[in-house]
Structure 1
Amino acid sequence: MQKRLSIPATVSRMLKYIPELQSQVEILLQKKQQILSTICKQDDHDLSNQHHQNKTKLSDGFKVSPFTVSGTKVSDTEATIQISTFGPTSQGIPPLSPILRGLEEDGLFLTDASCFESFGGRVFYNLNFQVETTYNLEAMLLVLNEKLLSLYKKRKA
């Protein structure tokens, strides 16, 4: 059988142990900052290399899309489309307003939209639409990608 510590003895041990834990937490936080700093430097380097490679591929005539378009049919009357780009409109990426107008003409009605820019300048658009039950989402994604590329080429010219 183990001898139980009295309450004052337990409190005394904890008061000695807390500073030890705090110093261990400080050491771990410093290690975390070092790792994050290393990762950020690698990501910056990788992103600049990737951006340079993408520009090189575009200028060399390879077909590299500055957009990634995907979609999901949420229900019979709802669809979600995600668009990811390399950068904001200042880098030649067209604004979405003409595309949204075209989608409304094609029977997609925007119900909700959000946009955010990630670390490294990648922009993500999340668009929620009300659709007709007979709507072919896969075909629309191909058309949308072509519209985006067409607008992109016009802005670059």
Structure 2
Amino acid sequence: MTKVTLNGRSVELDGDGDMPVLWYLRDIAGLTGTKFGCGAGLCGACTIHVDGEALRSCQTRLDDIQDGSSITTIEGLADGETLHALQQAWAEHNVPQCGYCQAGQIMQAAVLLTENPNPSDADIDEAMWGNICRCGTYQRIKAAIRSVAGTGSASTADAARA
């Protein structure tokens, strides 16, 4: 059994070590914001943070998670009742259409802005590559990321957990 911090709470990952973290989160922890997309780690819908790194939870096994790790899902990105800056920007820029990919998009963007608080358009394109939006809202995604870039507010929830 692996002891981790999941969205700020101490939990024990109890399950088959070969189980993808995605299924643990959805089926055991009841955190359904992380979505199943392709199952091959290619679409990004299942993106979560493990120790501040964006990982595809459909391809990450429970046994891949180290004791003491910190896991953040879209449900844990916000700081209490206050939405994360990216979640606010997503709403302000009317990013989602169907919304299915958006949790993964936001999680990937949060890591980008933590690592590079003021990315260029090329940096955004590179970091977000592999996060697929079937509705094609890429320009709105980029606009939302740009609106948060440089404000210093993108990583507040992650910084509080560190």
Task: Place the TM-score, normalised by the shorter chain, in its bin.
Answer: under 0.3
**TM-score, normalized by length of structure 2?**
0.24
Q: Which has the higher strand share?
A: 1
**TM-score, normalized by length of structure 1?**
0.24
Q: Which has the higher helix share?
A: 1
Q: Which has the higher contact order (CA 8 A, sep 6+)?
A: 2
